[in-house]
Structure 1
């Protein structure tokens, strides 16, 4: 009788395993992972154990990651998904990987573990209509411990399948619904990501918007198709933005199996300026720059250090620091709260709304003028005036005069158009010096200095509006004559005798500029900003964690102004 019971126990033991065993062969090692469904083996036989806690161990990370990658590579979506913390989502994505994206012969190679993260490389084949092309890329997964039962699983995210995938995005292979385009610069030359790496995302955006109307014919491609709900317009990461080519990130071509016939889209980009911009950002880490013509709004160049990555220059949402003082100064000048050569306070400290603000290195200007305060980038010169301003004064100035924060720019590709929200108390004062809730990118800041130069907001654009008869955004009013002339002189003086002077040296007399530094929580050094004009060329740049803007972003902008708009 005892023997029969022991035999029965041995026969029923596999039935207690509610999952699967995944085996990965690589580097001469074999790893196995057993997934228990509903509870542990100990639970099944009545010997309850405490729920494991804490981060996964190195062995657990390797075992789970290798088990997941083995199942995925073998084409067993259900088994791979069972090793994640979201089996339903993982099953859908991994099934679509083969069915919709037509990806086969998948080889997944684990890299070197870093904590709970496991990087891996992907080599596969994309096939459609008798045509095949290789696919290769790198991704990573994170192993987590489920709080409810201590189970160690892959933390599911779409980026596991491909690093560019977001929620709701899909990989699809087939005849592309959007024909390719040939983008031309202002001189008629072709713009390619091979020559201008920073334009990869911009060219994707141009194709998304103009591909169907530019006269081309679609080819066969593996494409990353963005979710309608993943709209991050021009407007930062606003998921409520409407779904159209101007209000979501562009779809992306990953592999071309057969080329279509491209249509032609002309842009305002200058080949000379763009080449200089590419060179300048390659020489720096985490830099972004925009160049435009103040007299027209034409964008002459756009570049980011992370070529092919997020387009911070157009879509970034960052505190602009003291470059925002251009807008704030225009407000004080129009409200008669400051005048260029009249006395203006610049103490070491100024308090408002319960916060104590100070100047860089706690400097002060005794018996100084507003000209001196602006040129030295005195924070307290603005904070002291906060009590005289309504809560919505800066917001109205930004919208009505500088065309910012209305989400209505029609550049030709996705952009974030700046945000200057109505704020109260300390945040209201902080907004005057480009902190608080104010958010900008180099495109916005270049537009600000261009408006200051001419006195009139001209919406920046990359594609001439007559290409598709779109309407460019307009400001509801212009700066008063007195405020505009004083603001222009403030910027000229700053570029010749203030914080911007070192970077702007040797650029002539028709110049103006402003430095900026923006503190960011968690960063050791602030983001460095700089914006300036020279003649009919304006530029703005940010260097993330660059420190003082005059030293980090200033030389970049100066190089762009020297290159000009040819």
Structure 2
């Protein structure tokens, strides 16, 4: 019988099975070790040392903080690093770099590289942003140091190329009024911030470039970043505004003559298209409170409240709305000088600016209705594209009944300024909101609806009656069909009230606020009267 066919003894069979099992186990173990990278013939992944990353982050912090000596000491070439970092920031007018560390990686030779983003604010021009990375290597003494190289400051900085800042013409081009007359901040100090902002909006003003140049020849080899608009106004080219030189001069003179040295602001605009004719501030320097101020508009806001009441059919001009001295809604509200008009009509409440009468009607409008009407018909709270930075009003939904009562009379969290309130007056007497503009490129992105004709007629009549028989009597006798609404806005328990007035005549709407003016009739009305007396005719 052949050997292959002979029976295998039991002992031998057990031995073969044992050897097979051992071999299989070894194979499985080897495979698992390979998959888990334990096998001695596979390479290990490089390790990222936390100490290396910390050194890179500390280097960035020292550089950003202007501690160039300390930053240099963290590198392999302290003196060169310190000099380069100092020259880089000073030579390019970089005041406060913002350097943010990013992801870290490690190479086979042990070098840890930390990426970072740089935002370099160049004085008067803008921010230069770029990305770079910092190599960190372990030294013979075991310490980690930034491996100094020019390219870590910026990838294009090298032994053959450096950077140069070139500032270009920053002259502000002439700004003219609607008729082409040049506007001067010397003649009208209120216009200095306005003129500067108009020019910058048109692309004029500071421009510059950071160039890459050859260290040996000083020839330009490339451009890193440009600042300012290349398509801006050309040198000598004027920028036309909607302002009217005569109205602007008269506005400045009115504040100087009648604001009694108090902080005050005035805006005049055309009713038919929203073009701004005058922007005046007192004091002239500093904050442009006329366009960007945030004030409680006080009782001038009752124009909007009245619009909401009329739109909802909640009240008519002849309806009796009692006007007591006080009314408590969470807190006590009162009228100016605690006046009262028992059995008054709604018209009397409007012309005498009765707070308690208006507050008593709060249940006739929804909690969010004032804000909805203000936005839908008057454009308040929408984003206006005036041509300059502006605050376009705010009417938050009241949080409780006390806040709702306050919002009925232009207090609480309702906010506006002379720009928004001049626009409210213009909308009330015309029926249509026209986004205010001060330059021709102010694209209107608002969406509004026209007020019903009956509501417009009623608002006109109420504003006219306020001049002939109400709190704006100081405007009576002026030529033209002048309408107005005064306002007295509380600021705090310890500060005097702000005085307000909005007025319309012909195709012009005006709004004035006098801080600490006590009442609108005593402080703001004289300013408007001075303005309208100086300019008896509408602008062309």
What TM-score bracket applies, with the shorter chain setting the length? 0.5 to 0.7
The question of whether the paired residues in 1 share the 8 Å contact of 2:382 and 2:446 is answered with no
**Take 1:310 and 1:95, find their aligned partners in 2: how far apart are those partners?**
36
Please, which of 460, 466, 470 is the counterpart of residue 436 of structure 2? 460
**Take 1:314 and 1:184, find their aligned partners in 2: how far apart are those partners?**
19
Q: Which runs of 5+ in 1 are unaligned?
A: 1-75, 80-93, 104-126, 129-172, 222-250, 252-258
Structure 2 length as normaliser, TM-score? 0.63
Partner of 1:421: 396
Shifted more, 173-182 versus 548-557: the winner is 173-182
Aligned CA distance change for structure 1 residues 261 and 370 (closer, same or farther; 3 Å): same
Partner of 1:188: 180
Partner of 1:505: 476
* Residue correspondence of structure 1 range 16-415 to structure 2 within 5 A: 175-176=167-168, 180-212=172-204, 261-283=235-257, 284-352=261-329, 354-407=330-383, 409-415=384-390
What SS does structure 1 have at the residue aligned with 2:512?
A: strand
What SS does structure 2 have at the residue aligned with 1:263?
A: coil
**Take 2:353 and 2:283, find their aligned partners in 1: how far apart are those partners?**
30
**Take 2:326 and 2:168, find their aligned partners in 1: how far apart are those partners?**
60
The question of whether the paired residues in 1 share the 8 Å contact of 2:166 and 2:208 is answered with yes
**Take 1:457 and 1:475, find their aligned partners in 2: how far apart are those partners?**
9
Aligned CA distance change for structure 1 residues 332 and 219 (closer, same or farther; 3 Å): closer
**Take 2:447 and 2:528, find their aligned partners in 1: how far apart are those partners?**
26
Partner of 1:63: none
**Take 1:496 and 1:97, find their aligned partners in 2: how far apart are those partners?**
66
The question of whether the paired residues in 2 share the 8 Å contact of 1:495 and 1:511 is answered with yes
Please, which of 526, 530, 536 is the counterpart of residue 555 of structure 1? 526
Partner of 1:150: none
The question of whether the paired residues in 1 share the 8 Å contact of 2:503 and 2:510 is answered with yes
Number of corresponding residues: 365
Give 1:219 deviation, angstroms: 7.3
The question of whether the paired residues in 1 share the 8 Å contact of 2:190 and 2:285 is answered with yes
**Take 2:514 and 2:305, find their aligned partners in 1: how far apart are those partners?**
22
Aligned CA distance change for structure 1 residues 102 and 356 (closer, same or farther; 3 Å): closer
Q: Which runs of 5+ in 2 are unaligned?
A: 1-64, 69-85, 96-122, 125-164, 210-227
Q: Deviations for 1:172-201, whole angstroms, at most 9, x for unmatched residues?
A: x96258663221101101112112111111
Give yes or no for the alignment of 1:478 onto 2:442: no
Greater Rg by CA: 2
**Take 1:286 and 1:174, find their aligned partners in 2: how far apart are those partners?**
41
Q: Deviations for 1:533-564, whole angstroms, at most 9, x for unmatched residues?
A: 11111100111111111111111112222334
**Take 2:88 and 2:361, find their aligned partners in 1: how far apart are those partners?**
58
What SS does structure 1 have at the residue aligned with 2:488?
A: strand
Structure 1 length as normaliser, TM-score? 0.60
**Take 1:537 and 1:454, find their aligned partners in 2: how far apart are those partners?**
11
**Take 2:406 and 2:380, find their aligned partners in 1: how far apart are those partners?**
18
Aligned CA distance change for structure 1 residues 260 and 523 (closer, same or farther; 3 Å): farther
The question of whether the paired residues in 1 share the 8 Å contact of 2:296 and 2:411 is answered with yes
Partner of 1:151: none
**Take 1:448 and 1:394, find their aligned partners in 2: how far apart are those partners?**
13
Shifted more, 183-192 versus 357-366: the winner is 357-366
Give 1:525 deviation, angstroms: 1.0
**Take 1:563 and 1:206, find their aligned partners in 2: how far apart are those partners?**
27
Q: Deviations for 1:66-106, whole angstroms, at most 9, x for unmatched residues?
A: xxxxxxxxxx9879xxxxxxxxxxxxxx9999655599xxx
Give yes or no for the alignment of 1:443 onto 2:419: yes
**Take 1:298 and 1:490, find their aligned partners in 2: how far apart are those partners?**
25
**Take 1:219 and 1:436, find their aligned partners in 2: how far apart are those partners?**
44
What SS does structure 1 have at the residue aligned with 2:254?
A: helix
What SS does structure 1 have at the residue aligned with 2:385?
A: coil
Please provide the CA RMSD for this pair.
Answer: 3.1
Give 1:345 deviation, angstroms: 2.0
**Take 1:263 and 1:523, find their aligned partners in 2: how far apart are those partners?**
50
**Take 2:446 and 2:502, find their aligned partners in 1: how far apart are those partners?**
22
